[in-house]
Each structure stands twice: as structure tokens, then as C-alpha cells.
């Protein structure tokens, strides 16, 4: 099933998720450094990283929702996608809570804000696995003609359809 939102011929959602994942993960690392060193600058930077991660996460979620809506009803992919998406909304909610708790004074981050981020990172590890399941195992966001010798997505040459049935794992011409 091909992605509905593409950039330069590739699904946009996997490209967009790297930013919030990196920002939110780094915020947690900075919070841990703050807990070890008591240097407030680390948690101040974490406050801004969480804010930026929330914005990026909202954009990635909107694009992911667009792809999820296109998945046929009654399929395993639809169910896995629902758990993946709801889990990531919970992750964003946890980080929003973390950001709101920090907001009055980013230099003095409450332990509850750091705990919310830690729970969010643990949960996003599971939802990221589900995202991999959707793409790698269920073929969501994968072009119908994807194969080891498919032409460049920017070329005018469409890829040949993938074989179906018992020989579907064999590549054309092999």
C-alpha cells in the first residue's frame, strides 16, 4: 500500500518522525545530565527541545493519520496502525505534560516532568517497533512495484508490479 503523502517520491511520515524522536530523546538525555550534574543549563535546553519535538511530532502525526485513513478496514495493518498512532498521541501527551510542568521555570524542572519524558521514551520505543512492523512486515507505505532493481523514484519509469502468490518473495528477472 503506497503512502498518500510523499516528498520527492518517498513516504513523508518516516522522514518526519526522525526530528521529534531525536529532539525528545535528546531532551531526556539532557535531563539525565542535569540530574547528575545539577547544572540548570541542561534542563533549560531540554525545555526547548521538548517544545520543538512537540511541534515536529504534531506534523508527523498529521501525515501518519493521512496514511492510516487510507489503510483498508478489517486488516491487521489498520489495527496495528491504530495502536501505533494512539500510542504516539499518548507519547505527545506525556511530553506536553513535561513541557507544561517545566514552563513556569525551565531552570528548575520538576521530577514529574522528567518522569513523564522517561515514560514517553519507553512508550515510543514500542510504537516505533509497531511503525517498523507496518512498513517492513505489512508493506504500508511501500510502492506496489518496489523491488531490488526498481528505477529511481525521480525517473519517469514506473516500477514493475511485484509478483503475487507463492513466488512473491522472488525478484523479477532472478
Q: One digit per residue, pLDDT tens: the chain, 174 residues? A: 788 888 888 889 999 999 999 999 999 999 999 999 999 999 999 999 999 999 999 999 999 999 999 999 999 999 999 999 999 999 999 999 999 999 999 999 999 999 999 999 999 999 999 999 999 889 888 887 787 888 887 887 777 766 665 655 555 554
Domain membership flag for residue 66: yes
Are 20 and 57 spatial neighbours (Cβ–Cβ below 8 Å)?
Answer: yes
Angstrom distance (rounded) from CA 100 to CA 51: 10
Tell me which residue range forms the domain holding 74: 6-137
- 163 in any annotated domain: no
Instruction: Decide if 10 is inside a domain.
Output: yes
Domain count, the chain: 1
E runs forming strands in the chain: 6-7, 10-11
Its pTM stands at: 0.85
Beta carbons within 8 Å of 117's beta carbon, 6+ residues apart: 24, 27, 28, 31, 46, 50, 94, 95, 98
Residue 125 domain-assigned? yes
Amino acid at each position: 500500500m503506497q503512502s498518500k503523502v510523499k516528498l520527492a517520491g518517498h513516504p513523508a511520515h518516516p522522514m518526519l518522525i526522525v526530528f521529534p524522536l531525536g529532539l525528545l530523546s535528546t531532551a531526556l538525555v539532557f535531563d539525565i545530565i542535569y540530574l547528575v550534574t545539577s547544572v540548570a543549563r541542561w534542563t533549560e535546553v531540554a525545555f526547548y527541545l521538548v517544545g520543538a519535538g512537540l511541534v515536529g511530532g504534531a506534523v508527523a502525526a498529521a501525515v501518519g493519520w493521512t496514511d492510516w485513513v487510507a489503510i483498508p478496514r478489517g486488516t491487521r495493518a489498520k489495527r496495528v496502525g491504530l495502536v501505533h498512532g494512539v500510542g504516539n498521541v499518548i507519547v505527545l501527551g506525556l511530553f506536553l505534560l513535561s513541557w507544561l510542568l517545566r514552563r513556569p521555570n525551565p531552570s528548575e524542572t520538576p521530577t514529574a516532568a522528567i518522569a513523564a519524558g522517561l515514560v514517553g521514551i519507553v512508550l515510543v520505543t514500542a510504537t516505533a517497533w509497531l511503525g517498523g512492523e507496518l512498513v517492513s512486515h505489512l508493506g504500508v507505505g511501500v510502492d506496489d512495484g518496489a523491488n531490488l532493481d526498481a528505477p529511481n523514484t525521480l525517473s519517469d519509469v514506473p516500477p514493475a508490479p511485484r509478483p503475487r502468490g507463492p513466488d512473491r518473495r522472488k525478484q523479477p528477472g532472478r
